[in-house]
Amino acid sequence: MSLDPVHVMKGQSNPKDPTAAPVTPSSNGDGKGAWEEKEEFDQDKLGLTTKPLLVSCQRRARKVEGGIFFPKPENAVTVAVSSRVLFRTETEQKVYEQKGVEEYLRYQVEHENEPFAPGPAFSFVKALQAVNARLRELYPESEELFDIVLVTYNHAHVGVRLINTINHHNLFIERFCMTGGSSPIGYLNAWQTNLYLSADAEKVREALSEGIAAATMFMSDNLTEVSETQLRVAFDGDAVLFSDESERIFKAQGLDGFFQHERDNEDILLDRGPLKDFLASLGKLQKKFYAKGHRLDCPIRTYLVTARSAASSGIRALKTLRAWGLETDEALFLAGAPKGPMLEKIRPHIYFDDQMFHVEGAAEMGTVAAHVPYGIAQKHPHKKSLNTGK
């Protein structure tokens, strides 16, 4: 098992919660430590003569014609991504760690015409744009689209390289938040963010505490190929779509107590989890395709991938989704079996789980996995030898 080192613990823990999962140091300009208590960057001191990269105005003008990609935040499904998950920035991180912030900034300006390579969120963002293209074919005037916002702790001078990279990869991201070390969470609320993806686990927890769906992204060394025409999103159940109520019962009373609790409460809805509203946002866009007769070839497909058992505890999960007016296209009840092989078959653009045990298993199979640091599992990590829990 080898997770991308940019997104893996390097010996630090979250000082606010000693029981929480370790936090990746934010050290390439996309984390708090890179900018606080630093002198203001002075470009004149660098003596750089880098020539700006010429960008095709024709491509940009063609895309914005008719206001196609500028929906109002209240109408869009807004996905905020950090630069460290959208692109690969390990080299830049090493420059910061070894030489400090000023040399890091100098390096970025000197290399601003060199595009970053795709990161773990890249294929997900490309799939969002593919869905947008289909939506615009069916609803030319609608603003109900995915809107991507790049959120980064970086100084604004790094923005030139980010813009050059976005244009190089033919992405359409016009909304930036470059906070220069300030917390991005307030901006997420201002954008009415539906999902926040970051490499900074501490900021992900902060976003979750503000009621924003959020996850820490991870990436394996060998990613499986994913669809270029259909967005596929897979969710764990408890502590992701649902609350961690049932997980707490399992931790306290064991598997038998968990099954009995689910039978006794079969008709009582589970409380909402941190990503329930994001599933609802996906479902809202799916229904726009269904209304035009595209249920079977819908470019959005969702999956519930849970360690729950179907007969013993699955019915409560399904009844809860139905009562919420939500659905997943597929539901896999694995009864404790490993999730990795199922995810390898699904090949989602992103998979959300609250337990690092399952995130690691997904990454081993080449799946882009995202950790939702929510619920009791953060205090009682799932041991790898156990396959019977949630």
Phi, psi of 113 (to 5 degrees): -90, 0
Report how far Cα 279 is from the mean position of its chain's Cα atoms.
13
What DSSP state is assigned to residue 268? Answer: S
Find out whether 51 and 164 touch, Cβ atoms under 8 Å.
no
Q: Can 147 be counted among the known catalytic residues?
A: no
Contacts 24+ apart (CB under 8 A), 2-5: 2/220, 2/221, 3/218, 3/219, 3/220, 3/360, 3/363, 4/90, 4/120, 4/218, 4/219, 4/220, 4/221, 5/90
Find out whether 166 and 86 touch, Cβ atoms under 8 Å.
no
Pairing of strands 214-218, 195-198: parallel
Q: What is the token pair recorded at 260?
A: 């009995």
User: For 97-121, b where at least 16 C-beta lie within 10 A, e where not — what string?
Assistant: eeeebeebbbbbbebbeebbebbbb
Q: Can you tell me the distance from the alpha carbon of 149 to that of 178, in angstroms, rounded to the nearest whole number?
A: 10
What DSSP state is assigned to residue 238? Answer: B
Active-site annotation holder among 30, 147, 236, 238 = 236
Find out whether 261 and 192 touch, Cβ atoms under 8 Å.
no
Q: Where are the beta strands (DSSP E) in the chain?
A: 77-82, 87-88, 117-118, 146-152, 175-178, 195-198, 214-218, 231-235, 300-306, 330-333, 350-353, 369-371
What type of residue sits at position 224? T
What type of residue sits at position 193? T
Q: What is the token pair recorded at 310?
A: 């179907």
Tokens 């080192």 sit on residue: 5
Which positions are catalytic?
Answer: 236
